[in-house]
């Protein structure tokens, strides 16, 4: 009988995103003792972002191993993966809604869409009660002879034997693994969400046909996704300096200021796009785009590791961020529980070597896609990719 390396060990997963929750589910299936520490005060504390497309070889594979594929089928949104490609004047140049529905589960190129909220909910509901400790903002980790002492903002502390940093781009865990920092890609995204879009952005809501819009022009882009709750999530992107958010002086919590910025920087675009900024029923968040070094490396540790954005942050232009995090969870859970490694150090070293290589390959694709999309010939390039 195989012996799990994590038997009789307390495992802390820092961060309750899809990657951390998937790992918790997979480890609990093997009888491991897992706690997820999440900074959100409750599961409904904040608006979840854009829709996600899960891929057969990564996100769907992890859900299948977790026994959650049927739950996913019950919550995914058929047709939400269909894209309309447009220019800045909102002229449709390619329309996947005109293509037959030829792909389904089991096909390598099938990429079903699910909103972030329902995905997170089905993962949370799969865990044992009490697995997630909400309102847990990690402040410090200190090493002990057999693990780590965790200190949280609310004064709570805990000792664990293994820590997995699944806490995203601004990870508190990563600096204890490596001093390597991400580099600025030269682009900034403004993320937004328009609530009750049929009322507040009716033209764009109708144009999405419950799917996605990719609009490219003038070396800028807007990606819009319809969500099951009736809102539109979107990302604008353009080339900027690294300090553009601060230097711009824009208060991104002020819709009139954001609308004025958009009208100025996207002045050549159709007025239709201004629907995204014409309402107070919306939020906006600027996100300078960073990427981890493509050649990053570090020595493995026996009680500490990373997954997802904490390990290999990248821009979203390969559509792989969440898929890579969920595949990280699957691979790490295998290494910790399949009995093939003599020590935790050996298991983590094997996982991290493959994870870094995989992450670097996908990040390179994402950087290349981002450059192509925002090139003078971005629209023609994207149409060729889609066809």
Residuewise pLDDT in 10s, the chain (387 residues): 355 899 999 999 999 999 999 999 999 999 999 999 999 988 887 666 678 889 999 999 999 999 999 999 999 998 888 999 999 999 999 999 987 776 677 777 788 899 988 999 999 999 999 999 999 999 999 999 999 999 999 999 999 999 999 999 999 999 999 999 999 999 999 999 999 999 999 999 999 999 999 999 999 999 999 999 999 999 999 999 999 999 999 999 999 999 999 999 999 999 999 999 999 999 999 999 999 999 999 999 999 999 999 999 999 998 888 999 999 999 999 999 999 999 999 999 999 999 999 999 999 999 999 999 999 999 999 999 998
CA 160 to chain centre: 27
Predicted pLDDT of residue 279: 93
**What is the rounded distance in angstroms from the CA atom of residue 85 to the CA atom of residue 53?**
17
Q: Is 227 helix (H, G, I), strand (E, B) or coil?
A: coil
Predicted pLDDT of residue 1: 38
Nearest to 156 by CA among 171, 138, 143: 138
Nearest to 155 by CA among 167, 139, 171: 139
**What is the rounded distance in angstroms from the CA atom of residue 121 to the CA atom of residue 22?**
11
Predicted pLDDT of residue 178: 97
Predicted pLDDT of residue 3: 56
Helix axes 344-373, 378-386, angle to 10 degrees: 120
**What is the rounded distance in angstroms from the CA atom of residue 180 to the CA atom of residue 355?**
16
- For the chain, the 3-state helix, strand and coil shares in percent, each to the nearest 5, are 35, 25, 40
Q: Is 302 helix (H, G, I), strand (E, B) or coil?
A: coil
The answer for residues whose C-beta is within 8 angstroms of residue 148's C-beta and 6 or more apart is: 12, 141, 142, 159, 160, 163, 303, 304
Q: Is 299 exposed, middle or buried (0-12, 13-18, 19+ CB in 10 A)?
A: exposed
CA 93 to chain centre: 28
Predicted pLDDT of residue 49: 65
pTM to 2 decimals?
0.94
Predicted pLDDT of residue 319: 82
């Amino acid at each position: 009988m195989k012996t799990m390396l994590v038997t009789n060990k307390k495992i802390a997963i820092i961060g309750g995103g899809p990657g951390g929750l998937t790992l918790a589910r997979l480890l609990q299936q093997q009888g491991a003792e897992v706690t997820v520490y999440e900074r959100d005060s409750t599961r409904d504390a904040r608006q979840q972002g854009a829709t996600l497309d899960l891929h057969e070889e990564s996100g769907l594979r992890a859900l299948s191993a977790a026994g959650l594929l049927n739950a996913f089928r019950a919550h995914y949104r058929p047709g939400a993966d269909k894209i309309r490609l447009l220019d800045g004047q909102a002229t449709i140049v390619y329309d996947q809604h005109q293509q037959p529905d030829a792909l389904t589960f089991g096909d390598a190129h099938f990429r079903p869409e699910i909103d972030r909220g329902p995905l997170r909910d089905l993962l949370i509901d799969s865990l044992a009660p009490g697995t997630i400790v909400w309102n847990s903002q990690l402040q410090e980790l200190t090493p002990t002879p057999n693990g780590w002492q965790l200190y949280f903002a609310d004064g709570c502390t805990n000792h664990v034997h293994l820590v997995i940093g699944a806490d995203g781009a601004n990870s508190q865990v990563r600096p204890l693994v490596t001093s390597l920092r991400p580099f600025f890609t030269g682009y900034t995204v403004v993320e937004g969400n328009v609530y009750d879009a049929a009322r507040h952005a009716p033209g764009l809501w109708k144009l999405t046909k419950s799917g996605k819009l990719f609009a490219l022009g003038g070396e800028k882009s807007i990606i819009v996704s319809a969500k099951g709750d009736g809102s539109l999530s979107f990302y604008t992107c353009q080339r900027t300096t690294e300090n553009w958010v601060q230097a711009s002086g824009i208060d991104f919590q002020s819709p009139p200021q954001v609308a004025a910025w958009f009208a100025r920087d996207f002045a050549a675009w159709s007025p239709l796009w201004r629907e995204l900024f014409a309402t107070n029923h919306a939020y906006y968040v600027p996100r300078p785009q960073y990427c981890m070094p493509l050649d990053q490396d570090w020595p493995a540790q026996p009680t500490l590791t990373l997954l997802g954005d904490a390990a290999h942050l990248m821009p979203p232009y390969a559509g792989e961020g969440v898929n890579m995090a969920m595949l990280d969870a699957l691979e790490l859970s295998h290494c910790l529980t399949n009995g093939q490694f003599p020590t935790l150090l050996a298991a983590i070293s094997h996982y991290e070597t493959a994870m870094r290589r995989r992450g670097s390959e996908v990040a390179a694709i994402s950087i290349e896609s981002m450059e192509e999309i925002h090139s003078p010939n971005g629209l023609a390039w994207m149409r060729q990719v889609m066809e």
